Structure 1
Amino acid sequence: MTEILRPLGNISRALDSIANHEFQRVQLTKGQYLYLARVAEHPGIILERLAELLRVDRTTAARAVQKLTTAGVLEKRPDDTNRKIKRLFVTAQGEQVYPLVKRENDYSNNRALQGFTPAEAAQLASYLERVDANVVQDWVAVKQGQTRTY
C-alpha cells in the first residue's frame, strides 16, 4: 500500500511549526492563525461550521475563539433573526493581522508547489480534496461516537 499519511503529516507539522514561529510577533499562539484566517474568509461564520472547516471538536474551537475574542482579534455578534446564534467576525485588530497570515499562507503554498506545472498543481489539489472527502467521513462518524472497524 502506498503511504501518504506520513508525508502529509510531516508537511502539516513543518508548515504549522513555521507559521506558529512567524505569528509569535503578532501575539498569535499555537494554531490561532487558522481560526483568524477562516473567520476572515467566512465573515459571520458560526462556531459549529468553523469547527467543521478546521476538523476540530466544538470545545477546541470554542476555547480558541474565546482566547481570540479576549485578545481583541475576533468578536461575536448575535444573529439578526435568532439571538441565540453568535456569528464570528474579525475585529479591526484582526484585520491588521490577517494580511500577514494570508501572505504566509500564499508563500508556503507557492513553496510547496515549487517545480510543479499549473496542471500538476491542479491535479494534486484535486487528489487532496478527494483524500479529504474520504477521511472526513470517518471524522464525522467518530465525532458522533462511532468506532471504526479495522
Structure 2
Amino acid sequence: MEVSAINGLKNEILREVGALARCVHTLFDLKYRELSLQRGQFVFLTRIVERPGLNLAELSALLKVDKTTTTKAVQKLMAAGYVQRERDAVDKRMWRLIPSDLASDVYPGIIAEENRSIDVCFAGFSAGERAAALDLLARMRANIEREWLERKKGGGGEESVG
C-alpha cells in the first residue's frame, strides 16, 4: 500500500535516479574491492585519469562534491598508489593530480565495467530511447546545477532540509 505522503510528491524521478545511482555504486564498490578501491573512489580515479593535471577544486566541481570529500578520497588514492601530486608550474601553492601507472593500468577495466553496467541499464531500450534518456538527464542536471552553483556561491550549499 502506498504511503499517503507520496501522493504529494510531483514525480518520483529523483527517487528513481537515486536508486539507480546507489545500485550502480554498490555493484562497483563490490567489484573494485579487489583493486583496494574504497567506497566511491573509482569515480575520483576515472576523472583523474581522464583529466591528468586537474587540481582538487576542479575535481570537486566536476564531481559536485565538497572539497573535504575530494581531499579524503585523493589522499586514499595516493596511499594506494593510484595518484601522485605535482606542484603547479605557475602557482606553486597549487597541486596537480597525476594518475600513476597503476591507475592507467586499471582504468580500462573500470571503463569496461561501466560500459557493461550501461548495457544492463539500457537492456530493451532502442537507440532512440537511449539517446533520449541521456538528453533528458543531462538537461535535468543542467537545471539543478544552476541552483547548486548559486547556493554554493551564497555559502548555503551545505544546508539541510528539515
**How many positions carry a matched residue from both structures?**
149
Match of 2:109 in 1: 100
Aligned identity (percent) is: 32
1:56 to 2:65 alignment: yes
Query: Equivalents in 2 of 1:40, 1:9: separation in Å?
Result: 26
Report the CA distance between 1:148 and its aligned residue.
Answer: 9.6
TM-score (norm 2): 0.86
Q: Unaligned stretches of 5+ in structure 1?
A: none
TM-score (norm 1): 0.92
The aligned runs of 1:1-150 (5 Å cut-off) are 1-144=10-153, 145-146=155-156
Aligned to 1:45, what secondary structure does the other structure show?
coil
> Which one is further off, 81-90 or 58-67?
81-90
- Greater length-normalized contact order (CA 8 Å, ≥ 6 residues apart): 1
Aligned to 1:75, what secondary structure does the other structure show?
strand
Runs of 4+ in 1 over 4 A off after TM superposition: none
Q: Which structure: larger Rg?
A: 2
Amino acid at match of 2:150: A
RMSD: 1.7
Aligned to 1:87, what secondary structure does the other structure show?
strand
Report the CA distance between 1:142 and its aligned residue.
Answer: 3.1
- Checking the alignment, whether the CA contact within 8 Å between 1:142 and 1:148 is kept in structure 2 is no
